């Protein structure tokens, strides 16, 4: 499923937020368990989010990470590159943010900016854009070959719902700061971004494409997608039964008291 096909379908909706919350809570606890398993085993995890403006990336990331231990996970917001970064290879700034042993890193936007905003706005030449798809696939292959679990999520909001959210932000003094000139410019290039997103998914596969007109639905689907991708860590979740090692530690502690 690509972005254009997702937009053409009727946006799925849940019964209500209470329905979603009841299904999200156990998944949040599972995320914590997976984080603990990753920390103990040294497993590294990278989760990247792409999507249209006002698609709900920030809120989905908050629900995904709010139960996690802050000591071994990081959320990295990606904006436009600095002047120094503009003089470097576009992937260089992402290498610096990759997770340490046992850590989870969540990218709020990612290296796919090269084939999305840079492509649509003409910040990179057509030749470099064409080369970027292969470079990104090679980059992600290197990450996976090195043992990193990589999860890719793109959130899709309809043009109508996006406008409703923009208007709501303008009317809310605590959210109006989120509206920028870039939002207006990007909306004018809506069709170009849809085409660029479809090509991104086609040339760099492995995405979870999630409709986000209904916020509770999107948050639940994100949690389901990520926990599904981390399921290989389940075998490392500590068993409820006490182990001999813990019994020996308990005896040593009691003997020293």
Alpha carbon distance 157, 56 (integer Å): 8
In this predicted structure, the answer to whether residue 242 has a pLDDT above a threshold of 70 is no
pLDDT given at position 78 = 96
DSSP output for 220-257: HHHHHHHHHHTGGGGGGSPPSSPPHHHHHHHHHHHHH-
Q: Report which of residues 70 and 177 the model is more confident about.
A: 70
Alpha carbon distance 109, 80 (integer Å): 10
The domains of the chain, with CATH numbers, are: 3-256 (3.40.50.300)
* 248 burial type by CB count under 10 A (0-12 exposed, 13-18 middle, 19+ buried): exposed
* 151 burial type by CB count under 10 A (0-12 exposed, 13-18 middle, 19+ buried): buried
> How far from the centroid of its chain's Cα atoms is residue 118's Cα?
20
pLDDT given at position 16 = 76
């Amino acid at each position: 499923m690509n972005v254009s096909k997702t937009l053409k379908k009727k946006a799925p909706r849940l019964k209500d937020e209470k329905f979603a919350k009841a299904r999200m809570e156990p998944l949040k606890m599972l995320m914590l368990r997976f984080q603990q398993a990753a920390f103990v085993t040294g497993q590294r995890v990278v989760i990247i989010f792409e999507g249209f403006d006002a698609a709900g990336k920030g809120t989905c990331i908050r629900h995904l990470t709010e139960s996690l231990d802050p000591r071994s996970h990081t959320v990295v917001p990606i904006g436009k590159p600095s002047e120094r970064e503009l003089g470097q290879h576009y992937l260089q700034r992402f290498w610096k943010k990759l997770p340490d042993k046992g850590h989870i890193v969540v990218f709020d936007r990612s290296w796919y900016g090269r084939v999305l905003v840079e492509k649509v706005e003409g910040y990179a030449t057509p030749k470099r854009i064409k080369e970027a798809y292969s470079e990104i696939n090679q980059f992600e292959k290197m990450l996976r070959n090195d043992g990193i679990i990589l999860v890719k999520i793109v959130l899709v909001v309809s043009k109508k719902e996006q406008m409703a959210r923009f208007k709501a932000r303008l009317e809310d003094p605590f959210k109006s700061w989120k509206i920028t000139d870039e939002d207006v410019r990007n909306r004018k290039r809506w069709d170009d971004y849809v085409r660029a997103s479809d090509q991104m998914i086609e040339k760099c596969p492995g995405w979870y494409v999630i409709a986000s007109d209904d916020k509770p639905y999107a948050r639940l689907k994100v949690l389901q997608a990520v926990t599904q991708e981390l399921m290989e860590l389940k075998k490392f979740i500590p068993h409820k039964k006490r182990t001999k090692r813990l019994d020996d530690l308990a005896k040593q502690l009691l003997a020293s008291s």
